[in-house]
Structures are given as structure tokens and as C-alpha cells.
């Protein structure tokens, strides 16, 4: 199952870019034997200033047809890392070819995109900058792959 990180904004060179690249590389290496990966980033920008609705349209276009869709939103479901691993395994085992994770811009996600999601996921009640959310999500995807592989990386 291919994973797609669909995010508003361009992640430039710097610590966040380094973290995302590192964790996605690790995910690919760990996930492939499990039928997970590769993980691909899709960066979108609303250059016309249409706000969350325009960003949601761009994000929706980046999501492959038939993909399971998870959106990140502070009002979403908080889950443990093993629970996220179980969701990925369930989607994979159900024959999903793609799963997409959508990260909105500074003003959040348009409700229309959130309403069509298979999973509305929260990284906690705090609001995080979307560039950090991308790094945190990449780490959690890698962690999920290690949990499914039985690796000792996750020590809960």
C-alpha cells in the first residue's frame, strides 16, 4: 500500500525537511517487506489566496482515486501509535492500494474534506505548525511500520 503525505505548503531545506526525509526513508526501508510503501509527498500551494476551501480542492486532487483518506485535525481522534499501526494494517489487508494523509494550511482544513475522510486524526489537543505536523506524522508512520515488523524501536 502506497502512502501519500498531501500537505499545504512547501517544506524548504532545514531541520523539518531533514526529519521528514529521514523518517520517510526509514519507513520505506521498514515498510516495504510489510507491503507498506513507498511514501510519497505531495506539496500544494494556493497561490490565489482562496483559503481552506481552495486548499482542500488542491489536497483532494493530490489524493489518488480510491485511497483511504486520513486528515489531521486537532478535533480528530487521538490514538496510540499501536492503534495507528493497526489502522494501516487494516487498510492494507482490506486491499487498499493507497492511503493518503492530508495536512491543511495555517487556517486548518475545510470541513468538506474533513467530512469525506476515513479517519480524522489528532496529534493532541494542541495546535501545531503544519511543517512540524509533517515531521511528526512521518515519524509516526515509521513507528507504525516498526510496530508491525516487531522491531524494538517502539518501547511502550
> Percentage of the chain surpassing pLDDT 90?
78
Q: Is residue 31 domain-resident?
A: yes
Return the bridge partners of 5, or none: 41, 101
Domain at 60, CATH number: 3.40.1280.10
For the whole model, what pTM was predicted? 0.93
Q: How many folded domains does the chain comprise?
A: 1
What is the structure's pLDDT at 18?
Answer: 96
What confidence tens digit (pLDDT) does each residue in 42-84 have? 999 877 778 888 899 999 999 999 999 999 998 999 999 999 9
pLDDT, tens digit (0-9, with 9 covering 90-100), for 88-131: 999 999 999 999 999 998 888 999 999 999 999 999 988 888 88
Q: Per the domain annotation, does 155 fall within a domain?
A: no
pLDDT confidence of residue 136: 96
Residue 144's domain comprises 2-149
Amino acid at each position: 500500500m502506497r502512502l501519500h503525505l498531501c500537505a499545504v505548503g512547501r517544506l524548504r531545506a532545514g531541520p523539518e525537511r531533514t526529519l521528514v526525509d529521514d523518517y520517510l526513508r526509514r519507513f520505506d526501508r521498514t515498510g516495504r517487506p510489510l507491503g507498506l510503501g513507498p511514501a510519497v509527498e505531495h506539496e500544494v500551494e494556493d497561490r490565489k489566496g482562496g483559503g481552506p476551501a481552495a486548499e482542500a480542492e488542491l489536497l483532494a486532487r493530490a489524493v489518488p482515486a480510491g485511497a483511504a483518506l486520513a486528515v489531521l485535525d486537532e478535533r480528530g481522534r487521538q490514538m496510540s501509535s499501536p492503534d495507528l499501526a493497526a489502522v494501516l494494517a487494516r487498510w492494507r489487508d482490506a486491499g487498499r492500494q493507497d492511503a493518503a494523509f492530508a495536512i491543511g494550511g495555517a487556517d486548518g482544513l475545510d470541513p468538506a474534506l474533513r467530512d469525506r475522510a476515513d479517519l480524522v486524526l489528532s496529534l493532541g489537543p494542541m495546535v501545531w505548525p503544519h511543517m512540524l505536523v509533517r515531521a511528526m506524522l512521518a515519524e509516526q508512520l515509521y513507528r507504525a511500520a516498526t510496530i508491525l515488523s516487531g522491531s524494538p524501536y517502539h518501547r511502550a
